[in-house]
Amino acid sequence: MDKPLILVSNDDGITSRGIRVLVDIMKDLGDVVVVAPDSPQSGMGHAITIGNTLRLSEEELFQDVVAYKSSGTPADCVKLAKHYVLKDRKPDLVVSGINHGSNTSISVLYSGTMSAAIEGAIEGLPSIGFSLCDYSTKADFSHVEDFVKSIAEQVLYNGIPKGVALNVNFPPKRNEPIKGIKICRQARAKWQEDFDERYDPNGQKYFWMAGNFVNFDKGEDNDEWAIANNFVSVVPCQFDLTAHHAISQINNDWDWEQLKNL
C-alpha cells in the first residue's frame, strides 16, 4: 500500500525550527514534499503574487525529503506545489506550520500559516494549520509533537468536510501537561492598533504598527479560552466569508423600489 503524500508549507520560512519539527513528524506518516517561502511571510494573509516574478528552487534542507523554497507567499507555495511540483500527484494532506506564535481568533485572517492551509482546502485537499502560542525562534515544541501526529492521523484516516481547513493552536509549554483537545469556535476578539510615528535618519516620516489584543468573548467554547486553560484548540475554518444570516435581513429591510429609481 502506498504511503500518503503529505505537502508541508509554512509562513515562517523554510529554515524555521517549526517547519523542521513538522517535517520530522510527517515523515512518520507518509511521503513528504516541502514547498515553503524562502523568507518569513508572517501576516501576509491570503496574498498571492501578481505582476511580479515567482522563483522556485530545490533545496537539500531535510533528510530524505524533497524540498523547494519559493520567493512567493504561503498561498503561492501551495499553488506552486499543487499545479507545478506535484502536478501529476494529488496530496492526501496539506499541513502548514508549526507557526511560531498564536493564530487564534481574528488572527486567522492575517495568518500566512492558515492561508497555506485554506489554499489547500480551496483545492479540495484535507488541510491543517498548526501554531504554537510561543513567538520565540527557539520555542520548545516537544509537548505538542504527539498531538500534531494524532490530529494529522485523524484527518488522514477519517477525513474532514471538503472545503474545510483545521486551525490548530497549541498552548506554550507550561509546568503541567496539556489537558486535552477542544473543538472550538473562533473567539470574538480583535487587535487594537496603535501607530507610532517616527522619523528615519533622513528626516522622512514613517510609522511602526503596534497594538494590543482585545478579547470581548466571555464564552468557554472558543479558541482563546481553550489556550488560556491549557487545551489544544481546533477550529474548523472555511474560505466562504458570506454572512449567510444577513442575506434575508438585507432582502427584507432595504427599500428595493427606491434603489431601482436611482
Contact by Cβ (8 Å): 33, 65:
yes
Separation CA 234–CA 219 (nearest Å): 16
> pTM of this prediction?
0.92
Q: In the predicted model, what is the mean pLDDT of residues 200-207?
A: 94
Give the CA angle between residues 85, 36, 111 to the nearest 5°.
125
Instruction: Provide the pLDDT for residue 153.
Output: 98
**Does 178 score more than 90 pLDDT?**
yes
- Could you give the domains of the chain? 5-188+219-260 (3.40.1210.10)
Q: What is the pLDDT of residues 31-75, one digit of tens each?
A: 999 999 999 888 888 999 999 999 999 999 999 999 999 999 999
Place of cell 505582476: 51
Instruction: Provide the pLDDT for residue 121.
Output: 97
Q: What is the pLDDT of residues 208-262, one digit of tens each?
A: 988 888 888 899 999 999 999 999 999 999 999 999 999 999 998 888 777 777 6
The dihedral built from the CA positions of residue 181, 185, 188 and 194, taken in this order, carries a sign that is: positive
Tell me: is residue 99 an annotated ligand-binding position: yes
Contact by Cβ (8 Å): 128, 170:
no
Tell me: is residue 42 an annotated ligand-binding position: yes
Task: Report the phi/psi class of residue 93: left, alpha or beta, with left for phi > 0 and alpha for psi in -120 to 50.
Answer: beta
Instruction: Provide the pLDDT for residue 191.
Output: 85
Tell me: is residue 140 an annotated ligand-binding position: no
Distances in Å between the alpha carbon of 198 and those of 51, 66, 191?
Answer: 31, 44, 21
